[in-house]
Amino acid sequence: MAHLGARITELRQGFVEIRASYRPELTQQHDYFHAGVSGAIADSACGYAAYSLMPADSSVLTVEYKINLLAPAAGEELIARAKVVRSGKTLKVCSAEVYARKDGTETHCATMLATIMCLPGKPDRAG
Amino acid sequence: MAHLGARITELRQGFVEIRASYRPELTQQHDYFHAGVSGAIADSACGYAAYSLMPADSSVLTVEYKINLLAPAAGEELIARAKVVRSGKTLKVCSAEVYARKDGTETHCATMLATIMCLPGKPDRAG
Amino acid sequence: MAHLGARITELRQGFVEIRASYRPELTQQHDYFHAGVSGAIADSACGYAAYSLMPADSSVLTVEYKINLLAPAAGEELIARAKVVRSGKTLKVCSAEVYARKDGTETHCATMLATIMCLPGKPDRAG
Amino acid sequence: MAHLGARITELRQGFVEIRASYRPELTQQHDYFHAGVSGAIADSACGYAAYSLMPADSSVLTVEYKINLLAPAAGEELIARAKVVRSGKTLKVCSAEVYARKDGTETHCATMLATIMCLPGKPDRAG
C-alpha cells in the first residue's frame, strides 16, 4: 500500500475509502493507472472494510476476488470505496467500486466482489 | 510490468510464463509477495496468452478476472503460467496458475480465471 | 425460466426484477431453494437487464458470472433484481441481488456480478 | 440434483464426475441445455469433490463460484468433472469443467472456479 502511495481517507464500521495519487510508475502507456493498481487498492479496501467489523485481535486474509474493469483509469487520483455486503463470523463478503478522478469528475472504472476471511487471534498475513 | 521487475520467460501459441524476482518493495510484512503482485502478473500472463492467438494488429483488454489466493507467496521468485481455455473471435477465456519458488520448490499460491477482449486494429490499451 | 416458475415482475431500461415462487422441486433438504435456482434467476435477470439496453434485433449471451451465496434461501418466493453497471457496445456488466421473501420479510441471500455479450442481429442463443 | 436427473458417475479423493442426461425441460430454445444446468451440476460436483476430503460428519456450503460459459451445451448428456485445487481445513478451492457429449464427442462448454466451506459436525445445508 505504501508502495502504491495509497492511504485510507475514510473508515467507518463496514466501509472504507482508499485513495492513490497519480505516480508515473503506477501507470502504463497513455498515462492510465495500471489495472493491477485498481485491483490492489480495491482488494485492500475490501480487507479493511472487513477488518472494521472484526474483533481487535483478528487478522484478515483475502480468500478470492473478482474484478470487472469498466473503463480506463485516467486521472490524477484513483479512489476505491468498499463495503461489507455480508458479515459472517468467519467470512465477510465485500464489494468495492473504483473511480478515477480527473478535473473533479469521477469515472467508474472497476467493480469488485470479494470474500475475506477472519482469522481470530492470529498475526496479520494479508495486510 | 517493468515496475514489478516481471519478464516473459516462455511464450508459445496460447501459453505464456511470466516471472517476477523478489524485491523488498513487492512484499508486505513477513517477506511475502503482496497479493496484488500475484494478481498483476497473472493478469498480464493471461493478456499475453490471449494476444498470442490474435492477429498482429490487435490489442488486448482485460474484461474481468477472478483470483483465488491459495497460499502465502513466500520465496525468491513468483511465476505465473497462463493458457487460453477458449479462443473466441472477440473474447478469449484464460486461466493462470501462480507459484512461489523458494529453494527450488514451487508452491501453488494462486489460481485465476480471466476474460480477455480482442480489439482488432486498435492501439493497445491494456498491455 | 418457465421450468423454474419464474416471471419478470418489473422491467425498465437497465433494470429487471424476476420472481420465482416456492415449489417443492426447486428446494433441497430443509425446504431451502437450491443455490442453483438463485444462480439461474439472477443470471436471467442480468441477461434481461442487459437486453433492455440493446437494439431490438440483438440477442444476449452470458459470458460469465460470479455469485456469492450469503444466506440460506428460505421462504415462499425468491426475488432477483439486476441492473446494468456498465453498458458497452459489445459487453454489458451487470450486478444482481437475490432475496428470499418469507412472511413479508426479505433476506439477502446472494449477490452476482456478470458479463453479458450483445450479439447484434443474431437469433437468441442464451434466453 | 434428482430434479436435474443428475447422478455421480465417478468419485475418488478430491475428484467427482456428475452426469445429467438430456431432458426437454432442462433445455432452452434450440435444444441446448440451459446455462443454469451447467452451473448447477458444476457447483454440485465442486461440493462433492470438497466433501470427499472432509471428515465424515462435516457438511459443505458453497461460498461462491465463478463460471465462464464457453460454448453452447448441445448434446445428449452434460458432464461435470470437479477437482480440489487446494484443501484447507475450513475452505476448499475447487475447479470444474463441463462438457456436452454429442454422438460420442465431448465439447468443453463451461469452466468453474469455486470456494467451498467445510462445516464440521453440522447437518448438511448445501448438498
Partners for D (CB, 8 Å, 3+ pairs)? A, B, C
Looking at residue C30, its pLDDT comes to: 60
Cβ separation C66–B66 shorter than 8 A: yes
Does the pLDDT at position C119 exceed 80? yes
Choose from C64, C67, C68 for mutation: most chain A CBs within 10 A.
Answer: C68
Partners for C (CB, 8 Å, 3+ pairs)? A, B, D
pLDDT digits (tens, 9 = 90+) for A22-80: 777 666 666 688 888 899 999 999 999 999 999 989 999 999 999 999 999 988 899 99
Quick one: cell of C115?
Answer: 458479463
Cβ separation B72–A36 shorter than 8 A: no
Does residue D30 come out as left (phi exceeding 0), alpha (psi in the -120 to 50 range) or beta? left
Sheet hosting strand D91-102, strand order edge to edge: C6-12, C15-21, C77-87, C91-102, C105-119, C59-69, D59-69, D105-119, D91-102, D77-87, D15-21, D6-12
Looking at residue C126, its pLDDT comes to: 43
What's the mean pLDDT when you consider all of chain A? 89
Choose from A61, A63, A85 for mutation: most chain D CBs within 10 A.
Answer: A63
Low-confidence ranges of chain D (pLDDT < 70): 1-3, 25-31, 122-127
Q: What is the pTM assigned to this prediction?
A: 0.92
Looking at residue A126, its pLDDT comes to: 44
Does the pLDDT at position A115 exceed 70? yes
Q: How far D13 CA sits from the closest chain A CA (Å)?
A: 23
Q: Work out the percent of chain C whose per-residue pLDDT is above 70.
A: 87
Tens digit of pLDDT at every position of chain B (127 positions): 666 779 999 999 999 999 998 777 666 666 688 888 899 999 999 999 999 999 989 999 999 999 999 999 988 899 999 999 999 999 999 999 999 999 999 999 999 999 999 998 865 544 3
> Which residues of C are less than 8 Å from D28 in CB distance?
126-127
Identify residues of C whose CB sits under 8 angstroms from chain D CBs.
Answer: 3-4, 25-26, 28-30, 32, 34-36, 39-40, 43-44, 61-69, 72, 124-127
